[in-house]
Amino acid sequence: MTTIRYAIAGKNGRMGKMLIEAVNAAADATLAAAFDIGDDAEAALAQADCLIDFTRPEGTLKHLDICRRLGVHMVIGTTGFTPEQKQQIAAAAQVIPIVFAPNMAVGVNAVFKLLDVAARILNEGYDIEIIEAHHRHKVDAPSGTALRMGEVVAAALGRDLKECAVYGREGHTGERPATQIGFSTIRGGDIVGDHTVLFAGTGERIEITHKSASRMSYALGSLRAARFLRDKKNGLFDMQDVLGLK
């Protein structure tokens, strides 16, 4: 079993601490470096085979440049990137292997697959709403996971999420168009992450829900992603690739 030397960005954050705990508990892992804002990221990454980054887009992109130069693999769990920033990640993936996913939890990625199947079956006569809840400290909304859920459902139905998504409603909105995909966001307390996709038909409702009780599920999924990258030279992957769901 080949040991992977990990670097963890955001060592003092909630997710950073959980990642460090997961790496220290894994038999095939060594914590080579953990760093935060103001630390020497390049010196830290020079010791690592793979960086796991759940920080902020600006910080992640700085680390991306360093990893690209040093040939360090990346697992990116950061959310809130602009389309242009996502292009920077795709460009770097031509040089180094990257797993970039809005949610690293294995269960959430199983839900993505279930949503694809459900949307294809419930493709007529069902209104679709996505409800997500997170802790008070989360800075982007809707969550990256909720947006990915919307993308999966829209693709299965042959729709463009940019054209059919509605992010909150207020006032006299009129009747709901049949092709709309609605998003509702809740922020409060220490909620780790709850996501529900509601298919509301006539006389019945189908709800597909995932609830995270601990960030450890994200950390364990991240280690699984890093193992998947071990023999890769370059390329952009997501957790569906890691889990063999494509």
From 138, 162, 172, 232, active-site residue: 138
Residue 49 neighbours by CB distance under 10 Å: 20
Rounded (5°) CA angle 236-241-243? 145
Q: Cα separation of 173 and 84, whole Å?
A: 32
Q: Cα separation of 12 and 59, whole Å?
A: 14
**Residues in CB range of 235: below 8 A, 6 or more apart:** 93, 97, 98
The token pair at 132 is: 């997500």
The length of the chain, given as a count of residues: 246
From 63, 73, 134, 195, active-site residue: 134
Q: Cα separation of 229 and 98, whole Å?
A: 7
Q: Does 134 qualify as catalytic in the annotation?
A: yes
Q: Does 172 qualify as catalytic in the annotation?
A: no
Query: Of 244, 221, 246, whose CA–CA distance to 75 is shortest?
Result: 221
Query: Of 142, 129, 134, whose CA–CA distance to 176 is shortest?
Result: 129
Catalytic positions are 134, 138
